[in-house]
Structure 1
Amino acid sequence: MSSEFDLIARHFTRATRQTDLGVGDDGALLRPQAGMQLVVSTDMLVAGTHFLADADPHAIGWKTAAVNISDMAAMAAQPRWITLALALPTVDEAWLAAFAEGFAACCAAFDVDWIGGDTTRGPLNLCATVFGEVPAGEAVLRSGARAGEDLWISGRPGLAALGLQQLLGQRELAADWRVPCLAALHRPQPRVALGLALRGLATAMLDVSDGLLGDLGHVLEQSHCGALLEEARLPLAEPFAACQDAAAARNALLRGGDDYELLFSAPADLRAQITALSVQLELPLTRIGQLREESGIELLAADGTRSTLVARAYDHFGA
């Protein structure tokens, strides 16, 4: 049977490009660039909660890295280093090899050095810590939004939630949408290029992991303002095409999680710049509403009526 150290050497030791010392000692040696602040974030993925136990290990590896790298994008930081700690119920060499390749592939795609971690026996649990850099004072926080500013979302939120419903047998998606929805769920794409491009443009930002409404609530709480969403502006076309159900598409977009798209605010006079950025990055950026002084979230329907929306995010300890 392979020892812990054999597993690390065989599956979890990778060449680094921007690290003074990676795997092999009691700690890694990093050299942040002058004038930069270090940004650090940790996310844990637990079998049965964040992924199904029989999910493709390569996809699990990719997602474990991606959800952490996405946190760097959300703060307009350049991701540079990542560590991985994992608990394994048993040693399955084929599973580990595929998982490690998926994790490493995501790191390589976003130029992140995998610099160490830990391995132990226990229920399947994956915990990564990512480190990034941002010029001092230029990180985009959740607390910078102001009333009167526009609210934007990247990509096509809602597809990942529909993919999960398909996977659980709760919904039958249109045949040509099953692959894109499952790809959105299993292999999210951290919006690093967008996050970096929004330095100096976005006033507040986060990545949507627990549902657009719930995560918007975090911004509103930190920034002490409210929001008015316009139903006519919501990017509902693709979720609707996937499920052919208007109510389900809207619910997936507003309340579904696992999208890892960037939700951000920006002054109204930057609309042309942000639209040009969408074209440059070949990434949809949709203006979905406006921030306001009044607290809470309202939805403006096409007929002019307004309804109150609850900013409830996924809570691991909630009822």
Structure 2
Amino acid sequence: MGEFELIERFFKTPAQAASESSTVALGIGDDCALLQPSPGMQIAVSTDMLVEGRHFFADVDPFALGHKALAVNLSDLAAMGAEPLGFTLALALPPERARDEAWLAAFSGGLLALSNAHHCPLIGGDTTAGPLNLCITVFGQLPVGQALRRDGAHAGDDIWVSGTLGDARLALGVLRGEWTLPPDVMAAARPRLERPTPRLALGVALRGMASACADVSDGLAGDLGHIVKASSVGAEIEASMGAHLTAAGAFASLAGGRFHSETLLQLALTGGDDYELVFTAPATARRAVQSAAERASTPVTRVGRIVEQPGLRLIDANGQPTPLEARAFDHFG
């Protein structure tokens, strides 16, 4: 099967799929796709690359891999408060994958199912032979001046986190052989690693309300660290929030209590691959934040506050701060 037949069979969506959105003037089939943002809107662009052996295991379910490849990019749009417009896919395939029609059908099925769910059509890209490598660029739009940036946090703001944290790291630990879990517990944790949910509705609901925002891809400590650095402020996180932020806490009880509270806190703070949102908002906006979360059908938890003194600190049950080293994942670290 040649390159163009592969694209035609597995990745070229019907023409009407792109034309359903007035923002896609021209999709797959020409040298460039053409996007036409709505009046008064800005374009948001993000690119992520997933490499076999670095970001995913060789035996991962291809449907889940297709889902995650797009989900991690949609999570970036969510962190900016943007709505999806479309995406491109650059795909390097080893020869055995290019010949594996079942794998290609499952991968494109997961990719396009999420694409359809969020009205984010595939509008172009490239394919080549090589080690399995997935590179997606996603395009979104949002009203001019309403982007949820990282540099807007102020002393006195609350710190909020969507959903739960640590689940993906818990599942990764099993796949790496670091620990074991009962099958039902692993079945609950694994989808959080392989099929994350981009919080697009929450990002849109927080426009004009959140003072700063980032997605939690490399661990809460590291991604909150990006916010405080960009905003020239500090942050205090309540250590007790670790139990509230980790669905791993519930999993641990099912697994016989094999994880200590300190381990659960570390899963929440440094685990990564959660693709939740961490955001700040004025304390006066607490009721509005909860209402926005309800509209987006996404739970949120208030976990700390922004302070003037630079750096990240944990606050213990006695209100005493301890330094927290904020180390986000670094591919070259």
1:198 match: 206
Equivalents in 2 of 1:239, 1:292: separation in Å? 29
Once the two structures are TM-superposed, the CA of residue 58 in structure 1 deviates from its matched residue by 0.5
2:284 match: 269
Once the two structures are TM-superposed, the CA of residue 94 in structure 1 deviates from its matched residue by 1.4
Q: Which runs of 5+ in 1 are unaligned?
A: none
Q: Is the 8 A contact 1:142 1:222 kept in 2?
A: yes
Structure 2 residue 31 is matched with structure 1 residue 26: yes
Structure 2 residue 250 is matched with structure 1 residue 241: yes
Once the two structures are TM-superposed, the CA of residue 30 in structure 1 deviates from its matched residue by 1.5
Once the two structures are TM-superposed, the CA of residue 233 in structure 1 deviates from its matched residue by 3.1
Amino acid of the residue matched to residue 9 of structure 1? Answer: E
1:173 match: 181
1:132 match: 140
Structure 2 residue 157 is matched with structure 1 residue 149: yes
SS of structure 1 residue aligned to 2:35? coil
Structure 2 residue 55 is matched with structure 1 residue 50: yes
| TM-score normalised by L of structure 1 | 0.96
Q: Deviations over 1:38-57 (max 9, x none)?
A: 11110000001110011000
Deviates more, 1:223-232 or 1:237-246: 237-246
Amino acid of the residue matched to residue 13 of structure 1? Answer: K
Equivalents in 2 of 1:237, 1:263: separation in Å? 14
1:8 match: 7
Q: Deviations over 1:170-216 (max 9, x none)?
A: 12235443122101000000000000000011010010000110111
Equivalents in 2 of 1:70, 1:238: separation in Å? 20
| C-alpha spacing 1:178/1:311, structure 2 compared with 1 (3 Å) | same
Equivalents in 2 of 1:123, 1:210: separation in Å? 24
SS of structure 2 residue aligned to 1:134? strand
Q: Is the 8 A contact 1:174 1:242 kept in 2?
A: no
Amino acid of the residue matched to residue 316 of structure 2? Answer: A
1:257 match: 272
Alignment of 1:199-214 (within 5 A): 199-214=207-222
Q: Deviations over 1:26-84 (max 9, x none)?
A: 11121111111011110000001110011000000000000001110000000111000
2:129 match: 121
Equivalents in 2 of 1:175, 1:58: separation in Å? 21
1:72 match: 77
Aligned length: 317
2:103 match: 95
Structure 2 residue 49 is matched with structure 1 residue 41: no
Q: Which runs of 5+ in 2 are unaligned?
A: none
